[in-house]
Amino acid sequence: MRKTLNKAILFKTITIAIMILLMLIPLIFVANIINDRSRYKNEAVFKITDSWGKQVILAAPVLNIPYAYDEITETFQDNRAIQKLTAKTAYAKFAPHDLNVDVKINSQIRYIGIFEVPVFNADITMSGFFETIDMPKRAFAEDAFISLETKELKGISEPVFTWNETPYKFEPGFAGNSLSLAPLLKSGDHYLSYGYNAALNSLNSKIDFKNEGSRFELKFSIKGSESISFVPLAKKNRFHMSSDWVHPSFAGAFLPDEKNITDKGFEALWDINYLSSGVPPRFDKKDLSKTQFQTSFLIPVDNYRNAKRAEKYGILFIALTFIACFVFELANRRPIHPIQYLLVGFAMVIFYTLLISISEFIDFSLAYLLSAVAVISLIAAYAKFGIDKSLSIKNIAIIALALSFLYGYLYILLQLQDMALLYGSIGLFIALAVIMFMTRNINWYEEAVKED
């Protein structure tokens, strides 16, 4: 007796493998739809933030002391080097000794079309003390000024400023070398790197400077969106922040020493000294980007990000469904046409378009439930009335239960972050074990008697 491969099973296996690969085409279109909708949302977000106020970065207050220095330039004339001495002006920047910052943030949601963007108005009070400084040579103390440096001036109110209890006014300033800071960039749920350095805008206030130690207080409000960042400039920094936003995210060089997040908002406290921040008392041209810390105001569920994560599992879920149909076909000896396989696959692809479109109007979890129920009901009904009308209610229930388990498992994976790979691997192992168990009695060979 000899054994040969069962040609019918081999042909069907190859056909199913080709159909699984073909299903990659509609999944690519789904991925493009998700990317396009996400881009459209980003454009809507930009329109709101551009008119209201963008991400806020603040570095203040900074004491600026202009001073003179000589710059030597060398030119060649008649093969001789000629040196020229030119008087230049530069600005020494000094940090406070103590800095206490109180930030009260009122948040709100702005809409453009179906998209929502969190924006805020921050009331900020800064107070502290400048100690006696080591003056630069050839300094012009009479031209000293305090600068408030920020990424955006669009949404800022007129600051109320006192220096040694004497009020002064801020004006847009072009004197001095503004700080250059890079915003913290985000990818998904994680802050990965800093962007390109960009010079901050500056508001300046002339002061009556006497190098004897001085107290200050600075009050202003500023509009922004998405996040607010601070640079701890002083030797001793204390930041207190409170807001009615219930979904904050903290990132950057320093996380809060204390925080309390409730369903009514949050409070956070930072205590930072200059040894940990690395900001020296004088920092004329030092890059301070990596000393800033950030508080972001997040929308709890990003339906486009979750839909994209779900779509990445699409081909795996279609493959598992096709394999389950193939096992059912072999076990019950009820053939399923390749076109019927493809129709079931297209139904599973439609799940993602339903999910992304419905989730634009309602909660993502509810949109997921409605989309899954619709697709499971469609496939179960098609199995009964389109594939095999003799299927019992019990078999239909088993099909619906298996698909429900599949989509329920996908939902659990979407909720996980660090454990997604572990649970995904365990799920695949269990699925393979079930398939191996269900196919244990299938005869994969044709047997024939060899005559002498």
Which of these three, 284, 300, 316, is where a domain ends? 300
Which range is least confidently modeled, 240-244, 314-318, 326-330, 366-370?
326-330
Q: Are residues 295 and 412 both part of a single domain?
A: no
Q: Are residues 295 and 314 both part of a single domain?
A: no
pLDDT digits 0-9 by tens, 311-348: 888 888 888 888 878 877 776 667 788 888 888 889 88
For residue 353, is pLDDT > 60? yes
Q: Is residue 273 part of a domain?
A: yes
| Distance between CA atoms of residues 354 and 374, nearest Å | 9
Q: Is residue 451 part of a domain?
A: no
Identify the residue with better confidence: 405 or 447. Answer: 405
Q: Are residues 238 and 319 both part of a single domain?
A: no
Q: Are residues 242 and 345 both part of a single domain?
A: no
Q: Is residue 107 part of a domain?
A: yes
Q: Are residues 331 and 267 both part of a single domain?
A: no
Q: Are residues 317 and 416 both part of a single domain?
A: yes
* pTM (2 d.p.): 0.72
Q: Are residues 32 and 100 both part of a single domain?
A: no
Domain span at residue 382 reads: 2-39+304-445
Looking at every residue in the chain, the average pLDDT score rounds to 83
Q: Are residues 284 and 182 both part of a single domain?
A: yes
Q: How far apart are the first and last CA of the chain?
A: 11
Mean pLDDT value of segment 244-273? 92
Which of these three, 251, 268, 300, is where a domain ends? 300
Q: Is residue 452 part of a domain?
A: no
Which of these three, 300, 323, 339, is where a domain ends? 300
Q: Are residues 263 and 341 both part of a single domain?
A: no
Q: Are residues 250 and 311 both part of a single domain?
A: no
Domain count, the chain: 2
Q: Is residue 322 part of a domain?
A: yes
CATH code for position 132: 2.60.40
